[in-house]
Structure 1
Amino acid sequence: MSTVDQTPGNTPESSAGKVSATPQTPQAALLASPPGPPGKPPGRRFKPGTIIAIIIAVILLILAGIYAYRQIAGGDDEEKWLTAVVQKADIEDAITATGSLQPKDFVDVGTQVSGQLKILHVEVGAVVKAKDLLAEIDPTVYLSKADADRAQLRNQTAQLADKQAQLQLAELQLTRQKNLMREQATTEESLQTAEAQQRSAVAQVAAIKAQMQQTESTLRGDDANLSFTKIYAPIAGTVVSQTARQGQTLNSNQQAPIIMRIADLSIMTVQAQVSEADVGKLKLGMDVYFTTLGGSTRRYYGKLRQISPTPNVVNNVVLYDALFEVPNTRQTLLPQMTAQVFFVLASAKDAIFVPLTALHAAPENGKPARAGRRGGSAQDPRGQFKDGKAMASVMDKDGKVSERAVQVGVMTRVSAQILSGLEVGEKVVVGTKSAPATAAAPQSGGPLAGNNQRGGGGPR
């Protein structure tokens, strides 16, 4: 209960609105508040914290509205754009393909005679010289045939000597008969008999000589077969494979059995498989290089030598073989290695370049290029820039974006060389933070155009 001040001069009526500092309940405070005008509800007091919260909420709403307005209005706020810095480096436009390594020169060494492989003098990996002995086949059968031929030849030689002696006798008898006939001391019949015997002796000598020639021919064949039992290296190189084992029986009657392969590893041939979409861009003599899986940092360079006209169809994909050679002086390249091949279409050293998403087509007749009139495709948009002319959106130090004409040189799927119009260190717009660039294809019109489509996706 409230205590009324009873000091002199103060009546209870004059001090009716004064209360002591004694705490009051909210209900008592409401009852103690003076009544408002008739017909209006009693006044309500707000806490100071509530008022501050309302003010902060209003300020945040105002700031959000300003930000939304600036986004819709498309102002050149530096924080709105995704940018890239103009840089300088080497750039090249290349067609990539996979391939394999093969020796340029190799020989499959086989045998020309049948028999048991008696001795193998080399193993896989051995380095051999031309005419080195590689293997031997059992020569017993071929040696016996050659010996028989020589024996027959000796017999025929003896027969020839006998026939030649008979021929000499027949010639002497014929001469005697002719002399007697001139003296009328013999008969005509005896002369004719002598002449016949002489001609018979000549024929027998000729027959023996023919038999000897036949025997000599057979002997040469048997000697050749005997020599074939020893297999020599046809070229200098490295034994890269062996398909026969020592002790194995080889049959050459149907086809020549392959014993091993010798390859010259000093020069390797790269056989790359190029898709039908890219093979038309290749030119004989163009620069090409490759890397291997084991040494991806080292490049091996060569010149394109041949494009095979016969396709290889793999899973309904048409591929063509492109061949070129590289030296292998260190013997680090081996057969069947996998190669990542790069056919260089164009290249530039120490070039100024920007991402391809920073460029868009130059205006045509004073009008921005329309989205449907691009020269390239979404996969390869490089044909879009006529005569190498393009536009770039450049951001200055104050964050303002302006369009600038540039001259484009070498282009890849992700970057482009700038011949003129930009300097190293300048910033170019590649997209917006609300719609970042996700592909390599440049847009048409640039970020300041009406459609304001960035991000490299091209027109939709």
Structure 2
Amino acid sequence: MSKTKVLKNRWVMIAVAAVAVVAAWLAWQAIWGGEKAPVYQTAEVTKGDIEVSISAAGKVAPKETVTVGAQVSGQLTELLVDAGDLVEQGQLLARIDATIAETNVEGSRAQLKELQASRKQQVATLELAKADAERAKMLFENDAIARADYEAAQSNHTVAVGKLDAIDAQIDRQSSTLRAQQATLEFTNIYAPVAGTVVSLDAVEGQTLNANQTAPTILSLADLTVMTVETDVSEADVLRVKPGQDAWFSTLGDSTRRWETTVRQILPTPEVLNDVVLYKAMLDIDNPDNLLKPEMTAQVFFVTGSAKDAVLVPVTALQANPERRQRPQGEGRGQQTASAEGRAREGRAQGGFMQAEASEPAGAGPQEDSRRKAFTEARKAHPDAEVATVLVIGPDGTPRPRPVLIGLKTRTQAEVIYGLEAGQTVVTGEVSLSRSSTASGPSGQQGQRRPMGPPPGRM
């Protein structure tokens, strides 16, 4: 290789190394060199609906369920319905073998006829005894018969009256027995006590039913047009749930549909599961299309507060007690020398307004007084509102603290009662570019999110 070619290659390598050094220096300056302006995470103030609720799990059940059983013993000869059938009140559902019941009715009816015949005989005997007694009385008064004959005739009449009364009592008793046995015979036909849907069958044709000790269940009827959601509410939340309170739920089968209802009642006796005290809250809901089925799982939400078309901001935009900026001397308010604790206490005492005014430029006194007065009036109008501060991006892109009144608040959104308007932009976080001052090189990571608050040197 010639000397000229070697020198040429050496100069090429030197040029490449110089370019690499310059590129590395520029990259270091771009990433770690000098102070970087903070990059904010922002969100737009919007309008919408907000709802605060208590969630609980529950299950769907028919509001009214009737168990249909057998009042007589015997074999189930016919079962005329199946599960899922709609039945009307009074409709025949099943039949039990009526042989024994029919025999008992026929025997009681025959005994009743026998007693009725005996009564006719006794009536005739009573009429004869009455006539003898009247005749004996007339003859005794005329001294035609002895006293013994007179008393015997009167006694026979009294005995005849008593026998007739006894037969009448036997007839009443036998009539009652007959009616009971006729009812037993009628009980062999099972009728629907209410209109509804057959939700379960607990007996089959040919099964022998024994009703001597307990009434055996044949089937269950339920009115599925009105369902009840039985919800377990913890003791920590039950005091915030009241009868008549608005609520809604969704089911696993259709989580997008919202079933609106109210709380009917809260059962007073709790259920304790693994040392957890749960109270039953009952919610009724119309089910005309039969979309809700028994034993469905429901996610229930008890509404404790809601607002329509409210001004909303993300919860991450709220600052309860942000740090106040140290003002340079000569800005018209003097150097801030109070401790951090004193500044926070002062800000709370002024309802959050002092937290925001520290970042305003000097010379805005009348404007500050007007805003302070408006904020104070808003506080009086909403005494239960929470005071917070948000950073609003101004026209020049600089965030400015602003006191606000917060109403309802969920985990993600908050209702702004006063202080913001829809369309404004608020800071929800800050992305900082950190750098290391050590000689070993940069160790910070780009994109690290700083805690919510004003940037250093701005508050």
Fold match (TM-score > 0.5): yes
Matched, 1:447 2:427: no
Check 1:436–1:270 CA distance in 2 against 1; reply closer, same or farther (3 A cut). farther
Give the corresponding residue for 1:175. Answer: 134
Check 1:338–1:196 CA distance in 2 against 1; reply closer, same or farther (3 A cut). same
In the TM superposition, residue 420 of structure 1 has moved relative to its aligned partner by 2.8
**SS in structure 2 at match of 1:47:** helix
Give the corresponding residue for 1:288. Answer: 247
* Equivalences for residues 19-58 of structure 1 within 5 A: 23=3, 47-58=14-25
Please give the alpha-carbon distance, in whole angstroms, between the structure 2 residues aligned to 1:428 and 1:25: 65
Please give the alpha-carbon distance, in whole angstroms, between the structure 1 residues aligned to 2:138 and 2:385: 112
* Equivalences for residues 118-137 of structure 1 within 5 A: 118-137=77-96
TM-score when normalising by structure 1? 0.77
Give the corresponding residue for 1:314. Answer: 273
Q: Conserved in 1, the CA contact under 8 Å of 2:313 and 2:413? A: yes
Q: Conserved in 2, the CA contact under 8 Å of 1:358 and 1:392? A: yes
Please give the alpha-carbon distance, in whole angstroms, between the structure 2 residues aligned to 1:432 and 1:59: 26
Q: Conserved in 1, the CA contact under 8 Å of 2:385 and 2:407? A: no
Check 1:389–1:230 CA distance in 2 against 1; reply closer, same or farther (3 A cut). same
Check 1:117–1:436 CA distance in 2 against 1; reply closer, same or farther (3 A cut). farther
- 5+ residue gaps, structure 2, are 8-12, 323-339, 347-382, 432-446
Give the corresponding residue for 1:270. Answer: 229
**SS in structure 2 at match of 1:256:** coil
In the TM superposition, residue 140 of structure 1 has moved relative to its aligned partner by 0.9
Q: Conserved in 2, the CA contact under 8 Å of 1:362 and 1:369? A: no
Give the corresponding residue for 1:201. Answer: 160
Please give the alpha-carbon distance, in whole angstroms, between the structure 2 residues aligned to 1:48 and 1:365: 60
In the TM superposition, residue 172 of structure 1 has moved relative to its aligned partner by 1.5
Check 1:450–1:193 CA distance in 2 against 1; reply closer, same or farther (3 A cut). farther
Q: What's the CA shift string for 1:252-272, capped at 9, x where partnerless?
A: 111111111111122111111
Please give the alpha-carbon distance, in whole angstroms, between the structure 2 residues aligned to 1:263 and 1:400: 66
Please give the alpha-carbon distance, in whole angstroms, between the structure 1 residues aligned to 2:457 and 2:250: 44
Give the corresponding residue for 2:404. Answer: 406
Match among 182, 200, 225 for residue 223 of structure 1: 182
Q: Conserved in 2, the CA contact under 8 Å of 1:362 and 1:389? A: no
Please give the alpha-carbon distance, in whole angstroms, between the structure 1 residues aligned to 2:102 and 2:171: 20
**SS in structure 1 at match of 2:254:** coil
**SS in structure 1 at match of 2:115:** helix
Give the corresponding residue for 1:427. Answer: 425
Q: Conserved in 1, the CA contact under 8 Å of 2:392 and 2:402? A: yes
Residue type at the aligned position of 2:3: P
Check 1:406–1:137 CA distance in 2 against 1; reply closer, same or farther (3 A cut). same
Question: Deviating runs (4+, > 6 A) in structure 1?
Answer: 24-27, 363-366, 449-452
Check 1:419–1:387 CA distance in 2 against 1; reply closer, same or farther (3 A cut). closer
**SS in structure 2 at match of 1:130:** coil
Give the corresponding residue for 1:240. Answer: 199
Check 1:247–1:297 CA distance in 2 against 1; reply closer, same or farther (3 A cut). same
TM-score when normalising by structure 2? 0.77
In the TM superposition, residue 352 of structure 1 has moved relative to its aligned partner by 2.2
Aligned residues: 386
In the TM superposition, residue 156 of structure 1 has moved relative to its aligned partner by 0.7
CA RMSD of aligned residues (A): 2.9
Q: Conserved in 2, the CA contact under 8 Å of 1:368 and 1:449? A: no
Give the corresponding residue for 1:325. Answer: 284
Please give the alpha-carbon distance, in whole angstroms, between the structure 1 residues aligned to 2:275 and 2:419: 46
In the TM superposition, residue 366 of structure 1 has moved relative to its aligned partner by 7.9
* Equivalences for residues 16-95 of structure 1 within 5 A: 23=3, 47-67=14-34, 69-70=35-36, 75=37, 77=38, 80-95=39-54
Please give the alpha-carbon distance, in whole angstroms, between the structure 2 residues aligned to 1:95 and 1:266: 27
Give the corresponding residue for 2:120. Answer: 161
Please give the alpha-carbon distance, in whole angstroms, between the structure 2 residues aligned to 1:117 and 1:401: 83
Q: Conserved in 2, the CA contact under 8 Å of 1:85 and 1:427? A: yes
Please give the alpha-carbon distance, in whole angstroms, between the structure 2 residues aligned to 1:52 and 1:236: 92
Q: Conserved in 2, the CA contact under 8 Å of 1:290 and 1:299? A: yes
Match among 387, 390, 415 for residue 389 of structure 1: 387
* Equivalences for residues 327-346 of structure 1 within 5 A: 327-346=286-305
Q: What's the CA shift string for 1:224-272, capped at 9, x where partnerless?
A: 1111111111111111111111111111111111111111122111111
Q: Which moved more, 1:88-97 or 1:396-405?
A: 396-405
In the TM superposition, residue 141 of structure 1 has moved relative to its aligned partner by 0.8
Please give the alpha-carbon distance, in whole angstroms, between the structure 1 residues aligned to 2:5 and 2:161: 163
Please give the alpha-carbon distance, in whole angstroms, between the structure 1 residues aligned to 2:405 and 2:415: 8
Please give the alpha-carbon distance, in whole angstroms, between the structure 1 residues aligned to 2:457 and 2:23: 37
Check 1:172–1:156 CA distance in 2 against 1; reply closer, same or farther (3 A cut). same
Check 1:436–1:57 CA distance in 2 against 1; reply closer, same or farther (3 A cut). closer
Please give the alpha-carbon distance, in whole angstroms, between the structure 1 residues aligned to 2:456 and 2:384: 22
Q: What's the CA shift string for 1:27-69, capped at 9, x where partnerless?
A: 9xxxxxxxxxxxxxxxxxx9333334333333334444425x4
Q: Which moved more, 1:285-294 or 1:180-189?
A: 180-189
Please give the alpha-carbon distance, in whole angstroms, between the structure 2 residues aligned to 1:247 and 1:267: 34
Check 1:153–1:424 CA distance in 2 against 1; reply closer, same or farther (3 A cut). same
Please give the alpha-carbon distance, in whole angstroms, between the structure 1 residues aligned to 2:33 and 2:197: 78
**SS in structure 1 at match of 2:279:** strand
Residue type at the aligned position of 1:23: K
Q: Conserved in 1, the CA contact under 8 Å of 2:92 and 2:192? A: yes
**SS in structure 2 at match of 1:253:** coil
Give the corresponding residue for 1:359. Answer: 318
Larger radius of gyration: 1
Check 1:392–1:181 CA distance in 2 against 1; reply closer, same or farther (3 A cut). same
Please give the alpha-carbon distance, in whole angstroms, between the structure 1 residues aligned to 2:73 and 2:448: 76
Q: Percent identity?
A: 41
Q: Conserved in 2, the CA contact under 8 Å of 1:362 and 1:405? A: no
Residue type at the aligned position of 1:103: P
Give the corresponding residue for 1:191. Answer: 150
Residue type at the aligned position of 1:189: A
Check 1:65–1:190 CA distance in 2 against 1; reply closer, same or farther (3 A cut). closer
